[in-house]
Copies of this chain bind each other. A is one copy, B any other.
């Protein structure tokens, strides 16, 4: 029954938090937290290991890495480059790319005309694509370190195209045959305090119902036949969620099921299809869009090499590892 009254979040981190008050260990789910003191980034890795875990978490089996930094979107280009480097490193780890050349397709999901949904198209705009150059002139036309073939598209949303984004991506993948897809999307969080300071990497791709635009079909390894890494940034909270959350704290004495029923009756139907977002969302989208595109440019062009890895190791010395 609870399912019907569920509060939607695209963040595995927030799904996990639902159970925290009860201090419950969820079977089939592992959580690891790391704090990078130097860069002031909290990294939480949620692994959903079993179908039972997936059911409780309402997300597919897979790995969800969340980077949280309170100052992620403040105007400080250098700090954003630091986070971009960190993001590139985690992406490299999740993708588990070898030394060989590869072809990547980056998909910028969302609607460029609705500010909090425009993250994906914004990232594509600043991404360096190389596939056409390498196909024309060979990889030696590029700086040695940029031998990967990068292609990208911002396909628009269903109200603009009449097509599911998954249909468009599937068609392009069948033609281009990339080695993997990276999909960027704006997400809905449950809590406004997550907005503009959180990035989630998921190796499960894009699943139905996720994202601001609410995809109806998945963009996943199952549908495309190749790995799909999703990079998501929460930019909105569902309007109904905000009301529900506040009311819950008022009704603490009621039985849970009664409570949800009472609350749902009170929420105006007008609220569905509405979202909550900050007034300065334009600046946030611009900054986080640049951050993510820089991370991808790093991932695709520079060897995040031994030098950097060793530096990373030393910086890991400054981290607190708290296994839960």
Contacts and interface: CB of A to CB of B under 8 A. Distances in A.
Interface of A: 75, 111, 113-115, 117, 124-125, 128-133, 149-156, 158-164, 167-168, 170-176, 191-193, 212-213, 239, 242-243, 246-247, 249-250, 266-268, 270-271, 273-283
Identify which of A130, A153, A162, A239 gathers the most chain B CB atoms within 10 Å of its CB: A162
A141 to B, nearest CB: 14
A128 B75 contact: yes
A113 B282 contact: yes
B153 A155 contact: yes
Contact of A279 (B149, B151, B274): B274
Contacts of A243: 242-243, 246
26 contacts: A113-B115, A124-B160, A125-B160, A129-B162, A132-B158, A132-B161, A132-B163, A132-B164, A133-B162, A149-B162, A152-B160, A163-B176, A167-B176, A170-B171, A171-B171, A171-B172, A192-B270, A212-B279, A213-B279, A239-B242, A243-B243, A246-B247, A250-B250, A250-B266, A273-B280, A274-B277
Nearest to A294: B77
B162 A114 contact: no
A120 to B, nearest CB: 13
A152 B242 CA distance: 35
A213 B281 CA distance: 12
Nearest to A131: B162
Contact of A176 (B159, B171, B175, B176): B171
Number of copies: 4
Contacts of A175: 167-168, 170-171, 174
Contact of A268 (B132, B192, B267): B192
B167 A162 contact: no
Nearest to A128: B75
A133 B209 CA distance: 18
Identify which of A125, A156, A172 gathers the most chain B CB atoms within 10 Å of its CB: A172
Given A156-B154, A246-B267, A174 B174 contact: yes
A171 B170 CA distance: 8
Given A171-B176, A173-B171, A176-B171, A279 B273 contact: yes
Contacts of A167: 172, 175-176
Contacts of A247: 246-247, 250
Given A192-B271, A273-B280, 6 more contacts: A129-B159, A150-B162, A152-B161, A163-B176, A171-B175, A274-B279
Contacts of A125: 160
A15 to B, nearest CB: 20
Contact of A159 (B132, B249, B268, B270): B132
A130 B162 contact: yes
Contacts of A132: 158-159, 161-164
A268 B173 CA distance: 42
Contact of A266 (B159, B170, B249, B281): B249
